[in-house]
Amino acid sequence: MKKLFHTLRKHRVAYLFLLPTLLGMLVLQILPLAQGLYLGFLRSRKDKLLDYLAAPWAGLENYRNVLLNPDSPIRSGLWDALRNTIQYTIAVTIGTLIVGLLAALLVNREFRGRSVARTLMLFPWIVPTYVVGLLWGFMWQKEVGFVNIVLVDWLHLLNFKPTWLIGPNTIWAIIIPTVWRQWPFSMLMLLAGLQNIPRDVYEAAHIDGASPWQSFRHITWPLLRPVWAILLLHGLIFNVYSFNIVIMMFGNGAGFPGKNGDLLMTNIFRNSFQMWDFGSGAAMSSLLMLGMVTVIFVWYRAFKDSLSAR
Amino acid sequence: MSIAVKKAMTNRFLAILTFALVFINLVPIGWMVYCSFKDNEEILAGEVAPGRRHNDVAFMEPTPTGFLVGTQDGGVNQLDAGLKLLKHSNLGTFATSYLLEKDTLWVLSSNRGLQAVSTHDLAVLASYPIEEIAKAYGEAWKTLWVNDVAGSSLERMPDGIYLSFLFRDIPGIMRFDPAGRTFLPVAGLTTDKIGLVRHFARQGGDTLSLLTSKGYFRYASLSQTMVKAMPSPAVIPGDIGGFAELDKNRVVFTRGKGALIYDLDGDTTLAVLDAESGLGTSVISAMTVQTPSMNHDSTTPTCLWLGNSQMVASIPLTDGAVDYRVMEKRLPAFPLLGEAVRNPDDVTGNETTNLLALEDGSLLAGGVRGGLALLGASGGQTASLRLPKPPFYFRWRNFLDLWRYIDFGLYLYNSFVVCGSVMIIAMVLASLGGYALARYEFPGRSSFGYSVLATQMIPGIMLLLPIYLMYVNIAKSTGLVIKGTYFGLIITYAAYFVPFSIWILRGFFASIPKELEEAALIDGCGPFRAFFRIIVPSAMPGIVATGVYVFLSAWDELMFAWVLTSEKTYTIPVGIRLFVGNFQNRYDLMMAAATVSTLPVMILFFLMQKQIVSGLTAGAVKD
């Protein structure tokens, strides 16, 4: 006890500086997190809102419903949402990296209007995500949407106007806008990484007769590894927890995005706040968090070396 | 040499590729802004070209040399008898109506008020702006939403020119005295008594017929009394779309799909005319045909255009009775007018809005989008003309509507309050925390750093459920309302953004040379003074960049705001989400809302671009 006081006294400035943050985190992050985990084991109903923590103990019932009970309405939608989320996250993360890398390589040269080009490239990244959902929801419309106007009326690439927001095309209707919104961020980071690579490395490779592809393959890509590792992590977290774009694109937010457009976050949100099934919602959130912790752990094992090497 | 050329060409090619990427990248944003200035009808019709004002023909009158034609958008055209355009002038007005008096054309519009135009050179002789007209009603009429005025009416009466706007905020009909140049409200013709005036027309010597939202009225201007007042249900069930007078006792009222001829003396219905097919659109306004033979006793058939798709014809029969017919303008064989209007689309472009019967039996047809056609007495089109296109105009209407139909101003204010507060709170707390992490060695330092990172991996929904329940329960047990207040949303956001900001700011503080504060400490400053005097100013660029980033992120947050706000504290994303639900197909308003909510963050980003970019990349690359 005395030792604790001593420590507190000795570092009082540091603790004082951190105190408000710690309090905020405790009350609004740790406490809710604990409650959320606990809620997953309760049979929570709408009429039990006032005493939500006194709801009857349900054991693993919610988890069983979510994972194993084939009759549970939550479950059928959940697998669709899970499949879509995985597909969406992988496609968006990789797509963002590829486009961002290409753009970064293009901008990392001397040419007129370079800074203008870089600034203009950042534009989509400033557009709020709910606007992205709204805007692309309008652009994907079958008859009046800009995408179909360009594809069919202007370029004549197709001779019919495809439906984007219903059916299997839906997944692309959410992937493409997300890539559009996010690649400038990747570009920015990768560009900063590219500028950190010393020029003479390339010159040496050039003298040794390396082709542009070889110097990319053996110099640029490995040296950029710390940057794209971080971007990969950022993309994984950000896209698994993606919510705004999908919710704004389909049926004014309250609607169901459809079997091919539903993501985990929209699914859980619907279950929690529209069906008021907090127990299942919490159980699903806990499972989602568990899954993310696993993913992040795998990521950490894979990229530990390049992170510590920095 | 050739290698240099090849290299230059590659460079050129890559530069072009770069700008192509930039262009494609910007197209969606451009489309968003572009559509926010478009008319929703045009969007729904798939029209991509920029919108112009509609120059539908609103007025046609024969003159000694030919015709004088006025359009909705204030286009005044002098034509000769063969429909050759002699003179054209555009007054740039909205919802325009016209009245010809000798050499003066009176033009009434919602944005320019009353103007007198010379019929010789189309010069504006006198102008009475809308503010002056509004003075007639003093305090009662202060606002006029120019774009909202659906129409205006203008008529010469013995005691002056009567004028009105079809707009809910106008207190009534005004009388203009050209000699005294004064506007006066007409007693008895106020909006609360007669409703909104759709249309009025002079009838006989001094009576004025009015069709309003409350029914049909007839007003004697000289004695200033109401001769006839018929509330709508007595006249016709359902909504009256328009009216026209056949003669002084007979009026045509139009409904959604038909018309009804009413005898005013006997208060009886003379004929119910029902258009059978193809009349999907409702009749918007009635237009009397100003013709010398405007009397069904004459031997020639007369016709009236009731709206944009229907006409009523009165055809005298041999036994003295009159046959009334409703005709649709797309009728393949037009029994009355013969071949000439077999296909009105060819004649005037789209739809006929106005017809003028001439002395020699020929007919002048005016249509939407400035189409004009002269139809000979024996049938057949003798001349046609498309009036000059109106100029492009900047269509602010969607943005005005946004502010009025939904509480967008409030949402914008709420977003600024919430995001601004979060930014300030987060920056103050995160500076302290980031500094502590960067400078002090203390037990728990690294675990704090990790826990900060770990909180970023919790799905928001996981926290949202309990936070929502906590707020609801605190309100129920202590009466302290947190959900639905600024406070609740601000602390929730702050709790989320502070740890993140600490993590970024730590790097900035670490990069400040230690000697600076050591010098300050030696000079006798306490740790707090040193922090605020020395450290904060030198870390300011980083703090600003992080703050802006927090602001942008908070601006973008929908899920927490959705659950934790109430009607008075809705932020922009919540407001937009609600409004999208209510206005499913109003893409024009949606895009205007999207533009307005993007603009503040765009501007902020532009001002802070350098700091944000360097701050973010410094955190990602070096840290």
Q: What pLDDT, in 10s, does the model give residues B437-488?
A: 888 888 888 888 788 878 888 888 889 888 988 898 888 888 888 888 999 9
Residue B331 contacts by C-beta under 8 Å, 6 or more apart in sequence?
none
Q: What is the mean pLDDT of residues B218-236?
A: 75
**Over the stretch B527-546, which tens digit does the pLDDT of each residue have?**
778 888 888 888 888 898 88
Q: Is residue A8 less than 8 Å (CB to CB) from chain B?
A: no
Using an 8 Å Cβ cutoff, are A152 and A68 in contact?
no
Question: What are the residue ranges of helices labelled H in B36-65?
Answer: 40-44
Q: Is residue B464 part of a domain?
A: yes
Q: Is residue A68 part of a domain?
A: no
Residues B24 and B101 in one domain: no
Contact A35 B430 (CB under 8 A): no
Residues A21 and A116 in one domain: no
Residue type, A100: G
Look at chain B and report how many structural domains it folds into.
3
Q: Is residue A126 part of a domain?
A: yes
- State residue A34's pLDDT score: 92
Percent of chain A with pLDDT over 90: 37
Residues B17 and B147 in one domain: no
Which regions of B94-196 does DSSP assign to beta strands (E)? 97-101, 104-109, 113-118, 124-128, 152-157, 160-165, 172-177, 182-190
Residue type, A13: V
Which regions of chain A does DSSP assign to beta strands (E)? none
- Contacts A–B by Cβ distance under 8 A: 262
- State phi, psi for A226 to the nearest 5 degrees: -60, -40
Contact B621 A269 (CB under 8 A): no
Residues A30 and A117 in one domain: no
Contact A128 B465 (CB under 8 A): no
Using an 8 Å Cβ cutoff, are B212 and B195 in contact?
yes
Domain of B417 in residue numbering reads as 400-622
Q: Is residue B202 part of a domain?
A: yes
Look at chain A and report how many structural domains it folds into.
2
When scoring A15, A22, A25, A310 by the number of chain B Cβ atoms within 10 A, the one with the most, hence best to mutate, is A25
CATH number for A84: 1.10.3720.10
Residues B464 and B599 in one domain: yes
Paired with B545 in beta bridges are none
CA distance B429 to chain A (A): 6
| Cβ-nearest to B46 among A39, A122, A143 | A143
Q: Is residue B363 part of a domain?
A: no
Which chain A residues contact residue B558 at CB under 8 A? 129-130, 243-244, 247-248
Say which residue, B279 or B90, is predicted with more confidence: B90
Residues B27 and B99 in one domain: no
The H or E element spanning position A274 is none
Would you say residue B585 has pLDDT above 70? yes
Q: What is the mean pLDDT of residues B216-224?
A: 86
Residue B303 contacts by C-beta under 8 Å, 6 or more apart in sequence?
B289, B311, B312, B313, B314, B327, B336, B337, B355, B357
Q: Is residue A22 part of a domain?
A: yes
**Over the stretch B173-215, which tens digit does the pLDDT of each residue have?**
989 988 888 898 888 888 888 888 877 877 777 888 887 878 7
**DSSP structure class, residue B377:** T
Contact B433 A131 (CB under 8 A): no
Say which residue, B562 or B270, is predicted with more confidence: B562
Would you say residue B283 has pLDDT above 90? no
Q: Is residue B343 part of a domain?
A: no
- The whole-chain average pLDDT of chain A stands at 87
Q: What is the mean pLDDT of residues B253-263?
A: 64
Q: Which three-class secondary structure state does DSSP give residue B236? A: coil
Which chain B residues contact residue A227 at CB under 8 A? 620-621
Which one, of B163, B167, B205, B202, lies nearest residue B185 by Cα? B163
Q: Is residue A161 part of a domain?
A: yes
- The whole-chain average pLDDT of chain B stands at 77
Residues A26 and A170 in one domain: no
Residues A176 and A101 in one domain: yes
Residues A14 and A119 in one domain: no
Give the other-Cβ count within 10 Å of B161's Cβ: 19
Residues A13 and A86 in one domain: no
CATH number for B99: 2.130.10.10
Residues A296 and A165 in one domain: yes
Say which residue, A58 or A136, is predicted with more confidence: A136
Residue B617 contacts by C-beta under 8 Å, 6 or more apart in sequence?
A188, A189, A191, A192
CA distance A261 to B75: 50
Which chain A residues contact residue B473 at CB under 8 A? 49-50, 52
CA distance B372 to B455: 70
Domain boundary among B173, B201, B232: B232
When scoring A5, A22, A101, A126 by the number of chain B Cβ atoms within 10 A, the one with the most, hence best to mutate, is A126
Q: How many residues does chain A have?
A: 310
Q: Is the dihedral of CA A84, A89, A90, A94 positive or negative?
A: positive
CA distance B149 to B170: 10
Residues B123 and B12 in one domain: no
Q: Is residue B117 part of a domain?
A: yes
Residues A258 and A119 in one domain: yes
**Over the stretch B122-152, which tens digit does the pLDDT of each residue have?**
999 999 988 888 888 887 777 777 767 777 8
CATH number for B581: 1.10.3720.10
CA distance B571 to chain A (A): 12
Residues B8 and B124 in one domain: no
| Cβ-nearest to A17 among B48, B433, B616 | B433
A175: exposed, middle or buried (Cβ count in 10 Å: 0-12, 13-18, 19+): buried
CA distance B10 to chain A (A): 11
Q: What is the mean pLDDT of residues A130-150?
A: 92
| Cβ-nearest to B29 among A39, A109, A124 | A124
Which regions of B166-289 does DSSP assign to beta strands (E)? 172-177, 182-190, 197-203, 207-212, 215-220, 225-231, 242-247, 250-254, 258-263, 268-274
Q: Is residue A43 part of a domain?
A: no
Q: Is residue A41 part of a domain?
A: no
Q: Is residue B367 part of a domain?
A: no
Residues B419 and B557 in one domain: yes
Q: Is residue A291 part of a domain?
A: yes
CA distance B542 to chain A (A): 17
When scoring A130, A165, A248 by the number of chain B Cβ atoms within 10 A, the one with the most, hence best to mutate, is A130
Contact A32 B466 (CB under 8 A): yes
3-state secondary structure chain A: CHHHHHHHHHCHHHHHHHHHHHHHHHHHHHHHHHHHHHHCCECCCHHHCCCHHHCCECCCHHHHHHHCCCCCHHHHHHHHHHHHHHHHHHHHHHHHHHHHHHHHHHHCCCCCCHHHHHHHHCHHHHCCHHHHHHHHHHHCCCCCCHHHHHHHHHCCCCCCCCCCCCCCCHHHHHHHHHHHHHHHHHHHHHHHHHHHCCHHHHHHHHHCCCCHHHHHHHHHHHHCHHHHHHHHHHHHHHHHCCCHHHHHHCHHHCCCCCCCCCCHHHHHHHHHHCCCCHHHHHHHHHHHHHHHHHHHHHHHHHHHHHHHCC
Domain of A132 in residue numbering reads as 73-308
> Which residues, numbered 225 to 284 in chain A, qualify as contacts with chain B under a Cβ-Cβ cut-off of 8 Å?
226-227, 230, 237, 240-241, 243-244, 247-248, 252-254, 265, 268-269, 272-273, 278, 281-282
CA distance B584 to chain A (A): 8
Return the ∠ at Cα A182 (arms to A179 and A185), rounded to 5°: 145
Residues B109 and B19 in one domain: no
Residue with tokens 């040496």: A204
Using an 8 Å Cβ cutoff, are B387 and B69 in contact?
yes
Residues B188 and B96 in one domain: yes
Residues A13 and A96 in one domain: no
- State residue B610's pLDDT score: 84
Residues B422 and B566 in one domain: yes
Which one, of B445, B427, B554, lies nearest residue B502 by Cα? B427
Residues B23 and B133 in one domain: no
Q: Is residue A63 part of a domain?
A: no
CA distance A222 to B549: 29
